[in-house]
Structure 1
Amino acid sequence: MALSSDDIVEIIDLHTRYNTAIDAGDGHAWAATFVEDGAFVRGDDTVAGRAALADFVHAREAAGQRAGVHGRRHWNAAIAPVATTQGAESTCDLALTGRDAENRAVVMAAGGYADELVRVEGTWLFSRRVLTLADM
């Protein structure tokens, strides 16, 4: 079964909600882009469950403030969702920009995501999101 054009637009909107929430430091809104027991994986670290996901963003935001980093923006490109028997899988590219302590614009990270998505009560959510960062 193929994804409908509405599904694809909704999945792209999910990426937008995810990016907007994490960029604002809104851990609860970011966690709400995942299913209740959803997981975010970065390297050997896995954060699972909405409460832990929200805490992850709040801790990340506090660490950034201590380091003088601000104005972070996540940019996704080449979002490519495909249907699966469980829902959908998607990949996309990532660029993370921000401003350093001297207020200079910097590229903070680049890489990509590999996602597993499911539809819950009519809304697409991440069930698992794996971040792979490029060497910079």
Structure 2
Amino acid sequence: MSAINYRTGSLKPPAKPKHLSQLKEFIAPGEKIFQDKDVSDYDRLFDDKKELEQRLLLKKQEFNAKVEELSALRSAKAEEIGSLRSRTAETISNLRSENKALFEGFEKRVILWDTGKIKQTDLENKLVKL
């Protein structure tokens, strides 16, 4: 089918797609690439794919081993932290009881000293009266 040009009344060839030249530029390298490839290239690609899949599987196994190792290390550290906390709590308790005992001892000495001072002032007052 041809289109008629309404200005001149002449027949005009059918319109070409606008991007035909770009499409040809795109298709030409693709055809060249696929013509250059042969079956041995595809076999090599398939073998490479298998090798990469095996390497990926090994890496996944290494990753899982590292995850297990990290898990074991974390649990060991958690136990260590727990024991350190309990020892710290015990040390704090011991220090508090020692502090309390020292404070009570100091309190007794102050009371004795104060009592002694009061007695001394009483005796001095009695001496002055005599």
What range describes the TM-score normalised by the shorter chain of this pair? Answer: under 0.3
Question: 1 or 2 for the larger relative contact order (CA 8 Å, sep ≥6)?
Answer: 1
TM-score, with structure 1 as normaliser: 0.18
Q: More strand per residue: 1 or 2?
A: 1
Q: More helix per residue: 1 or 2?
A: 2
When Rg is computed on C-alpha atoms for both structures, the one with the higher figure is 2
TM-score, with structure 2 as normaliser: 0.19
